[in-house]
Amino acid sequence: MVPALEVHNLSVRYDGAQALDNVSFRVQVGERVAVVGPNGAGKSTLFKAIVGLIHPQGGVVQTYGAEIGYVTQRSTVDWNFPVTVHDVVLMGRIGKMGWFRWQRPRDREMVRRCLAQVGMLEYANRQIGELSGGQQQRVFIARALAQEATILLMDEPFSGVDMPSQEAILALLENLREQGITILVSTHDLNLAVERFDLLALLNRQLVAFGPPRQVITPHALTAAYGGQALWRGEDYALVMGDIGCCGETRDRYD
């Protein structure tokens, strides 16, 4: 077991509010972690702190010198920007290319290899806005590969993505594990997190639970993370998530 990422007593204040409170966990190389929690639980904040985009108020993030690839939420990207798929992946090479340089044949070769790995090579000359949501995610994974990242953070990669694309991304993540790439994915989909990931981090400003999904996902933990909004149906492993409506009724969203 080789540690890839260690978060120790991490606390972050964001816009005057406590976004993360004393979060600690450890991930080994090649493990895939689903970070789950309600809106405002600090999922994005956790990722930003790991990448070093925000300074924590306390605590340490140890990444053992790893290059970190960060795939932001789709809504944060300007999809009309005049860049092609190739251009986006090439951006991952900038750190390796050095100042004042344009791409050389080996950068181009690297881009092609990374695009081939995510199955997007034939789309290299498309403008990024012409792709589907799932394809866009794969392009950004290719960019992390071009960056030679060994830790990959993906913020809500499955939101607004259809089922086949979701499966394609999950298969790709499976592939990356064999390359020793450690993956953290934030998601709203509790079922998906339980079924398809090695570890589950249940977050609500504090780390409510962390570990193998079926061990940590207890009614107690869910209530702590979601308040009254998640119900647990023990026998068939189906999770029921619902919004508490105005009159206290629970509408099933997953079954």
Chain residues binding other proteins by CB under 8 A are 51-53, 68, 70, 72, 76-78, 81-84, 87-88, 90-92, 94-95, 97, 99-102, 127, 143, 147
Residue 100 CB, nearest approach to other proteins (Å): 5
- What is the smallest separation between the CB atom of 30 and other proteins, expressed in angstroms? 21
Please say whether the beta carbons of 199 and 213 come within 8 A.
yes
Q: How far is the CB of 75 from other proteins (least distance, A)?
A: 13
Residue by residue, DSSP assigns 112-137 as HHHHHHTT-GGGTTSBGGGS-HHHHH
Q: How far is the CB of 222 from other proteins (least distance, A)?
A: 31
Residue 248: what are its φ and ψ, rounded to 5°? 85, 5
Radius of gyration for the alpha carbons in the chain, expressed in angstroms and rounded = 19
DSSP symbol at 84:
B
Q: Of 48 and 205, which CB lies nearer to other proteins in the complex structure?
A: 48
- C-beta of residue 8 within 8 angstroms of C-beta of residue 51: no
Scanning the chain, the segments in alpha helix (DSSP H) are 43-51, 85-91, 94-97, 105-117, 133-146, 163-178, 190-196, 213-216, 219-226
Residue 39 in 3-state DSSP? coil
- Measured from the CB atom, the residue of 72 and 250 that comes closer to other proteins is 72
Furthest CA-CA distance within the chain: 63
- In the complex with other proteins, the residue whose CB is nearer, 151 or 199, is 151
36 neighbors 119 (Cβ within 8 angstroms): no
Question: Residue 92 CB, nearest distance to other proteins (Å)?
Answer: 8
Query: What CA–CA distance (Å, rounded) separates 238 from 235?
Result: 8
Nearest CB to other proteins, comparing residues 89 and 200: 89
Using the minimum distance from each CB to other proteins, give the nearer residue, 1 or 99. Answer: 99
Residue (61 or 77) nearer to other proteins, CB: 77
Q: Give the shortest CB-241-to-other proteins separation in angstroms.
A: 29
